[in-house]
């Protein structure tokens, strides 16, 4: 099953629940958004900020950082603030941000308005690379001119282009490449001003939480998840299913929804959360629980591996893609991702040295945290989880080439890329 679905209990507010009369697959216009409580007045910004903290809303860009903490940091920094709706989806297996911008641009702009009120910002930006999304956002801005100046900033799509310092650098006229930290954007961002860089789903949940304060906890505890898999050697990640679910939903429920129930493994969090084999059906969609299991929720993209999909091949293609997507600004990232990709390619082709697994294990422990962004961490986690969950498969590849891994070196990420439903 592919498409867009909500698994929220009846009556629970969500981002995939269309307004009455909304055309399926179309962009929600201003009248329909107003009919569900959109753009409601905000008499007390601090009260909304407290409500966000009480609800426990976490950012949806990948790290899962508490949204209220970021908002307060920007609010309390000296100088006029800037707020940015970050809609650049670097993860090839994620579609949620582009879907929101294409089909519900007003809920994102409403969240940007509220973030500006809570931080005292005098300028806003919508940052994206998707043409249909840009068209929908500009139409929404024309329908309802914003209360503060809002620029739409276009970037070229790349894995690192959505990293928060890359966002700031691009808005300031430079390349969309990460910079060293500190300072972080909340200290010195766009034009040197304290800047909130917030994922578009995070902003949409802020808007929904404001419209439905009676359901704040439920709004904060729901997730947009992209499900894909079964592409195998066909060259693509297959079709995608975008689903909204409560936190704690078992991954087996999600796999069954999109006919991936026979899968033997799952790649978590886009390319950031690593591979998980035996026992993956018992995992629950929850930041803390997945972290305790050695994975990560990341942007909420799940790629299921069917019996014909070799985990060594998947890990090889993922690290090759990440190595190709490196900004090439950090020597440790260039050398680290390159070494991981080359060694995994050798494993996949049955050409690895006897110490390949030991090298992969050592590198995956030494490399995290040493790059300017999370790309190196993602590559290291893929290698580490491959070794942790599939040691026998890795060992078998040392002795002979695997038919499923033949040619498993593409760097364009096409195995993981999925279209927006």
Identify whether residues 30 and 170 lie together within a single domain.
yes
Nearest in space to 254 (alpha carbons), one of 215, 280, 220: 280
> Which run of H or of E encompasses 406?
none
Do residues 393 and 310 touch, judged by C-beta distance below 8 A?
Answer: yes
Identify whether residues 210 and 248 lie together within a single domain.
no
Q: What is the CATH number of the domain that holds 195?
A: 3.40.50.11540
Can you tell me the distance from the alpha carbon of 59 to that of 78, in angstroms, rounded to the nearest whole number?
23
Identify whether residues 111 and 164 lie together within a single domain.
yes
Identify whether residues 273 and 398 lie together within a single domain.
yes
Q: What is the CATH number of the domain that holds 389?
A: 1.20.1440.230
Say whether 224 sits in a helix, a strand or coil: strand
Cα distance from N-terminal residue to C-terminal residue, the chain = 11
Predicted pLDDT at 18: 60
Confidence class for position 372, pLDDT limits 50, 70, 90 = confident
Check pLDDT > 60 for residue 143. Answer: yes
Check pLDDT > 60 for residue 1. Answer: no
Confidence class for position 407, pLDDT limits 50, 70, 90 = low
Identify whether residues 157 and 252 lie together within a single domain.
no
Do residues 38 and 211 touch, judged by C-beta distance below 8 A?
Answer: yes
Check pLDDT > 80 for residue 4. Answer: yes
pLDDT (mean) for 372-386:
93
Identify whether residues 126 and 238 lie together within a single domain.
no
Identify whether residues 262 and 215 lie together within a single domain.
no
Check pLDDT > 70 for residue 17. Answer: no
The verdict on residue 6 lying in a domain is no
Predicted pLDDT at 108: 98
Residue pLDDT, tens place only, 153-191: 999 999 999 999 999 999 999 999 999 889 999 999 999
Identify whether residues 103 and 178 lie together within a single domain.
yes
The verdict on residue 281 lying in a domain is yes
Contacts for 408 with CB less than 8 Å, ≥ 6 apart = 310, 312, 313, 316, 317, 345, 348, 349
For the chain, what is the mean pLDDT? 91
Among 25-29, 83-87, 347-351, 385-389, which stretch is predicted with the lowest mean pLDDT? Answer: 25-29
The verdict on residue 149 lying in a domain is yes
Q: What CA–CA distances, in Å, run from 262 to 169, 242, 253, 258, 269?
A: 44, 19, 12, 11, 20
Predicted pLDDT at 234: 47
Do residues 304 and 241 touch, judged by C-beta distance below 8 A?
Answer: no
Check pLDDT > 60 for residue 232. Answer: no
Pair of tokens at residue 47: 């009260």
Q: Using the structure block, give the residue that is written with the tokens 């945290």.
A: 369
241-246 and 265-268 beta bridge pairing: unpaired
The listed range with the strongest mean pLDDT (36-45, 201-210, 273-282, 389-398) is 201-210
The verdict on residue 13 lying in a domain is no
The verdict on residue 7 lying in a domain is no
**How many structural domains comprise the chain?**
2
Confidence class for position 51, pLDDT limits 50, 70, 90 = very high
- Domain region containing 331: 222-421
Contacts for 163 with CB less than 8 Å, ≥ 6 apart = 90, 178, 373, 374
Identify whether residues 134 and 226 lie together within a single domain.
no
The verdict on residue 16 lying in a domain is no
Confidence class for position 406, pLDDT limits 50, 70, 90 = confident
Among 194-198, 205-209, 295-299, which stretch is predicted with the lowest mean pLDDT? Answer: 295-299
Say whether 301 sits in a helix, a strand or coil: strand
Identify whether residues 331 and 201 lie together within a single domain.
no
Do residues 381 and 298 touch, judged by C-beta distance below 8 A?
Answer: no
Query: Would you list the DSSP string of 35-89?
Result: HTTTT---S-HHHHHHHHHHHT-B-SSSS--BHHHHHHHHHHSSS--EEEEE---
Nearest in space to 411 (alpha carbons), one of 352, 359, 340: 340
Give the chain's radius of gyration (CA, Å).
21
The verdict on residue 11 lying in a domain is no
Instruction: Tell me which of 168, 200, 219 is where a domain ends.
Output: 219
Predicted pLDDT at 371: 85
Instruction: Tell me which of 219, 251, 273 is where a domain ends.
Output: 219
Instruction: Tell me which of 174, 191, 219 is where a domain ends.
Output: 219
Identify whether residues 204 and 242 lie together within a single domain.
no
Confidence class for position 22, pLDDT limits 50, 70, 90 = low
Do residues 383 and 364 touch, judged by C-beta distance below 8 A?
Answer: yes
Confidence class for position 132, pLDDT limits 50, 70, 90 = very high
The verdict on residue 20 lying in a domain is no
Predicted pLDDT at 62: 82
Predicted pLDDT at 27: 85
Can you tell me the distance from the alpha carbon of 82 to that of 84, in angstroms, rounded to the nearest whole number?
7
């Amino acid at each position: 099953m592919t498409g867009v679905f909500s698994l929220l209990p009846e009556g629970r507010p969500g981002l995939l629940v269309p307004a009455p009369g909304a055309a399926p697959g179309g962009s929600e216009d201003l009248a329909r958004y107003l009919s569900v409580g959109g753009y409601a007045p905000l008499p007390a910004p601090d009260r909304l900020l407290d409500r966000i903290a009480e609800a426990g809303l976490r950012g949806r860009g990948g790290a899962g950082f508490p949204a209220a903490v970021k908002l307060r940091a920007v609010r309390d920094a000296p100088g006029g603030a800037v707020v940015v709706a970050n809609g650049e989806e670097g993860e090839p297996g994620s579609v949620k941000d582009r879907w929101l911008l294409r089909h519900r641009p007003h809920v994102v702009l409403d969240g940007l308005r509220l973030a500006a009120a809570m931080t005292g910002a005098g300028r806003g930006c919508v940052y994206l690379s998707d043409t249909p999304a840009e068209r929908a956002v500009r139409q929404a801005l024309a329908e309802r001119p914003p209360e503060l100046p809002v620029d739409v900033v276009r970037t070229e799509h790349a894995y690192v282009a959505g990293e928060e310092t890359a966002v700031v650098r691009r808005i300031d006229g430079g390349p969309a490449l990460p910079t060293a930290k500190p300072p972080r954007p909340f200290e010195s961002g766009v034009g040197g001003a304290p800047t909130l860089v917030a994922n578009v789903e995070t902003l949409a949940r802020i808007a929904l939480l404001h419209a439905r304060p009676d359901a704040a906890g439920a709004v904060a505890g729901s997730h947009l998840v992209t499900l894909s898999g079964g592409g195998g050697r066909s060259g693509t990640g297959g079709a995608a299913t975008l689903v909204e679910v409560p936190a704690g939903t078992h991954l087996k429920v999600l796999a069954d929804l999109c006919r991936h129930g026979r899968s033997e493994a799952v790649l978590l969090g886009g390319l950031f959360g690593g591979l998980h084999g035996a026992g993956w059906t018992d995992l629950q969609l929850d930041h803390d629980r997945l972290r305790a299991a050695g994975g990560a929720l990341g942007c909420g993209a799940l790629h299921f591996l069917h019996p014909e999909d070799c985990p060594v091949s998947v890990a090889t293609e993922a690290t090759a893609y990440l190595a190709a997507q490196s900004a090439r600004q950090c020597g440790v990232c260039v050398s680290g991702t390159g070494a991981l990709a080359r060694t995994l390619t050798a494993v996949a082709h049955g050409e690895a040295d006897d110490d390949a697994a030991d090298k992969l294990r050592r590198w995956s422990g030494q490399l995290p945290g040493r790059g300017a962004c999370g790309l190196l961490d993602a590559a290291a986690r893929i290698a580490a989880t491959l070794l942790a969950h599939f040691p026998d498969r890795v060992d078998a590849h040392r002795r002979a080439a695997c038919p499923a891994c033949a040619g498993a070196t593409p760097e364009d990420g096409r195995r993981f890329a999925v279209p927006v439903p």
